[in-house]
Each structure stands twice: as C-alpha cells, then as structure tokens.
Amino acid sequence: MLTQNKRKLAFFLPNTFTALNMACGFGGIIQALGGHFYMASMLIVLGAIFDSMDGRVARMTNTQSNFGEQFDSLSDLVSFGVAPAFIFYFRFLQDSGRVGMVTAFVFMLCGALRLARFNANIGHVKSDYFQGLPIPGGATAVIGYILVSLQFPELKDYTPLAVGYLIFYALLMISNIPFTSFKNSEWVRKHKKQTLMIMFAIIASLFIYEEVMIPIIITAYVLISLFYFLTHRQKFAGIFAWKNDEEDEDK
C-alpha cells in the first residue's frame, strides 16, 4: 500500500510543476491587466523554470506518460503563447486597433502550431536540434522586449517596430530553421569546465541585471543560430524531412 502511494506521488510531482507553469502564465495575464509589466514578465520567466523541471522530474522518477506530455503542451500554450501575446498587446498594441489584435493573435497562433507540430512529430524529433524556435524561446524574446521597454520607455511609441518584432519571432517558431538544444553538442562535451563557467556567468548576470540580460541572451542565441544555419546549410539539408521519407516508403 505504501509503495502504491509513493508511486502515485511520483506521478503527481511532475504534473505539479506543469500546473505551476500554467499558473505563472495565468498570473502574468492578470498582472498585465493591472499594468504591472515587470511582474508579468518575471512570472513568464518563472514559468519557464518550472517548465524545464517537469520533464526532468518525470524522467528521474520514471513517470513519463502521454497524459503528462499533453498537459505540458497545454500549459506551454497558456504560459508561452497566450500570456506573452496578452502582455505584449497591453504594453505596446492596445491603441493600434485591429492591427494590434491580429499581431498578438498571430504570435499565439504560431505558438499553438509550433506545439502541435512538435507533438505530431515527437517520434521523429532529433534531440540535438529543435525544428524552429521553441515556444519558451519565443516567449522569452517577447518578455525581453518588454523588459527593455521598461528601461527605455521611448520604445513604447514605436508601434511598427513592436509589430515587426512580434511577427518575426512568431515566424521563427513555425520555421524549419534548426536551433541547437545543446543536448548532444560536441563543443559542450569537449569543454565541460568552460561550459560550466559560462552557465555560472549567465546566471550571475541574470541576478545582477535581468532587465537587460534576458533580452541579450535570447537575442544572442537566435542570431548565432541563424548565422550558423545560413553558413552551414548543406549540413542541415533534409534534417526535418522525415515525413517525405515516410511517404516514399508507403509508395
């Protein structure tokens, strides 16, 4: 009986982190409605931390399940799709009429499409590269722009820039551009000490000046990934072409 209760607790634990992630997204929307954009942004960051923990906890406790995967996707859509779109809209696009509403919706829609594509291809997804920018990355880019605008309020007046920025990251999420996950990085394996030092430096910088470091880190990740893709196109040719391969086999 005791063993069975422990097993139930083990299944409950990762889903608790998933629920906390969703709660952060919901809280971010509430904070944005009250005009508290810094707190709203930090809740999205906290949600990303919870999101990174639920999968690890599930693997550690050997409690992976289809239910957990679907619950995680729904939670991600709330925290990294719906919430950032709402927060960004209330910060920059509220006075831009239909253009603002459509732009925010496009980001949310692309986030949903990104998650749906990931779930549909979960048996084929490579662990070393993401197909398109992951939705937590898109959300981080969005709240990064918001945090910068809190330091430089004049950004709030450049609505076309905000619209273009949001659309750009929306399209990155549904693109076929490979973004490294660092899971099987050869450089990381060969330079473990340097990697650890870089991680400590990033964490320290986030504690010191998160309003600037969050947008710098996500922008650097995106730009480096785009540059690497453009300069190594042959390496990535056909990397996400598994559907075509399956169709050829059926024929």
Between 192 and 60, residue with greater pLDDT: 60
Q: Is 41 within the bounds of a domain?
A: yes
- Global pTM reads 0.86
Mean of pLDDT values over 239-251: 54
pLDDT band at 248 (very low <50, low <70, confident <90, very high): very low
Note whether residue 221 is domain-resident.
yes
Average of per-residue pLDDT values in the chain: 86
Domain assignment present for 250: no
17 belongs to a structural domain: yes
pLDDT tens for each residue of 202-232: 788 777 888 888 999 999 999 999 998 998 8
Residue 47 has pLDDT above 90, yes or no: yes
Residue 162 lies in a domain: yes
Task: Name the percent of the chain lying above pLDDT 90.
Answer: 53
**pLDDT, tens digit, 9 for 90 and up, residues 52-106:** 887 778 777 777 778 888 899 999 999 999 999 999 999 999 989 999 999 999 9
Residue range(s) defining the domain that contains residue 49: 2-61+72-238
pLDDT of residue 55: 76
Q: Given CA atoms 85, 89, 93, 96 in this order, what sign does their dihedral have?
A: positive
CATH number assigned to the domain comprising residue 44: 1.20.120
Is the pLDDT at 242 greater than 80, yes or no? no
Residue 246 lies inside a defined structural domain of this protein: no
Report d(CA 251, CA 249) in Å as an integer. Answer: 5
Count CB atoms within 10 A of the CB of residue 57.
17
Identify whether 249 is part of a domain.
no
- Give the pLDDT of residue 5: 58
Asked if residue 149 belongs to a domain, the reply is yes
How many domains does the chain divide into? 1
Predicted local confidence at residue 234, as pLDDT: 82
